[in-house]
Amino acid sequence: MKWNLIFSIATTHLFSRKKQTFVAALGVTFGIAAYIIMMSFMTGLNGLLDGMILNRTPHVRLYNEIVPSELQPLDFSATYGDYTKQIHSVKPKRSQQRIANALPLIHFLNEQPEVQGAIPQVKARGFYRGGSTELNGSLLGVDVLEENRLYQLGDYIVQGRAEDLAKNDKGIILGAGVAKKLSLELGENIQVTSSQGSVFTLKIVGIYQSGLADIDNVQSYVNIKMAQRLMGEGDNYITDIHVKLHNLERAPELAAKWNRMFGVSAVDIQTANAQFETGTSIRNMISYAVSITLLIVAGFGIYNILNMLIYEKMNDIAILKATGFSGGDVKRIFILQAMLIGLMGGLLGLLIGYFGSLAISHTPFETEALPTIKTFPVNFDWSFYVIGTVFALLSTFFAGYLPARRAERIDPVDIIRGQ
């Protein structure tokens, strides 16, 4: 049997019941549109939240962790070698925060093919002073240009630029919380007292806001040399090495490897943010579950409409079989009808989903926690449109298959005798 004839009969059946066809197509349309809009918005929101953490967190952090000594003097005593020993109130061993041979280590890491960049950081403790007010502070000494390249520091600077800090050895990019509490503005000076008691006057060349109040209330950025001066140390004083990889998934493996090689503590991003990644996975699972449920509900609507259509077309089916159409031809006609409903509804759903997502992406979204975000985040990933189309065709195929099987088994003699 020629497919053009089957197609002609299928379209004739569909357009003879335009209202039912339209309602069935709308079920697919809104199912796919809701899927695309929800997935675009939810993954865009997850990407924003992930970026707040991932963009500011090194894939591998190398540092010296202060821990108690594993072996105590009693362990070296031959007298008590066979005894079970219990030692209470063990104090951490005396150690420095600085990483030994940090500069050669950074050079080595930057030569590794899996490393996108390894940069030094100096953590300095101090106090911010504004008039008679004094606040606890944490100052991070960084290579600001590399920090901006690898971790997008500039995206969080609401006043000034990252480059301004690179040009000013006595500059500081102040946390928004600190600036607000001390009533300081861009271009003004701030006094910083180091933990050793030295006082430095720094010029505010930028104000940044990470979106995390606990960080913005204490943290600021200065040049590495200034942080070393605050700590009273030399040019080789480095407390942390932040490593960004080309492949994030290799972070746990490389952290363990470098921990053994260099004898320093190494923590990977998965371990440091395990709870955050779990939350992202759960949100994605919920989004997929709700969206797929909408498409399945649309499929049941198509099933019910085609089922009723078969009862209404009993005479047509009998005539088709009496004139030489086989049961397989009749089944193909009704499956084709379901696929056409899915195709029409799917294409319309793609358009509504795209323009709905586009409208959301232009909707104003302003909050003090995320000053650099002006509109709702939306992810226009093409895979959502492909998945929506494929699922629409599959759901309508299976929704039409069972009614088509029933039409295939209808005996035309029983129908004609009943008439």
Give first-to-last CA distance, the chain, whole Å: 28
The answer to whether 151 and 56 are in contact (CB under 8 A) is yes
Q: What are the angstrom distances between the C-alpha of 304 and each of 7, 21, 27, 401?
A: 21, 12, 12, 12
Structure tokens belonging to residue 172? 């500081």
Give the gyration radius of the chain's Cα atoms: 33
Report the pLDDT value the prediction gives residue 205, as an integer from 0 to 100.
93
The pLDDT of residue 226: 92
Q: Which helix (H) or strand (E) holds 112?
A: none
Nearest to 128 by CA among 223, 216, 224: 216
Structure tokens at 262: 């260099």
Helix segments in 156-243, DSSP class H: 162-166, 176-181, 213-216, 224-230
- The pLDDT of residue 306 is 63
- Quote the DSSP letter at residue 364: B
What is the model's pLDDT at position 77? 65
Question: Exposed, middle or buried: residue 370 (CB in 10 Å: 0-12, 13-18, 19+)?
Answer: middle
Among residues 353, 341, 325, the alpha carbon closest in space to that of 397 is found at: 341
Each residue's pLDDT, cut to its tens digit, for the chain (419 residues) gives 467 777 777 777 677 777 777 777 777 788 788 888 888 888 888 777 776 667 678 889 998 876 555 666 666 666 666 666 666 666 555 556 788 888 899 999 999 999 999 999 999 888 998 777 788 888 999 998 998 888 888 878 888 888 999 888 899 999 888 888 888 889 899 999 887 888 899 999 999 887 777 788 889 999 999 999 988 888 889 999 999 998 888 888 999 999 888 888 888 887 777 666 666 677 777 777 777 777 777 667 667 766 676 666 666 667 777 677 777 777 787 778 778 887 888 888 899 999 999 999 888 877 665 666 778 888 888 888 888 888 778 877 877 777 777 767 766 666 565 55
Beta bridge partners of 138: 125, 219
Is residue 121 a contact partner of residue 141, using CB atoms and an 8 Å limit? yes
Distance CA 316, CA 333 (A): 12
Note the pLDDT of residue 115. Answer: 92
Nearest of 190, 39, 219 to residue 123 by alpha carbon? 219
Would you call 132 exposed, middle or buried from its count of C-beta atoms within 10 A (0-12, 13-18, 19+)?
A: exposed
Contact 61, 267 (CB under 8 A): yes
Strands 240-245 and 60-63: antiparallel
Dist CA 221 CA 206 (whole Å): 9
Nearest to 268 by CA among 258, 278, 283: 258
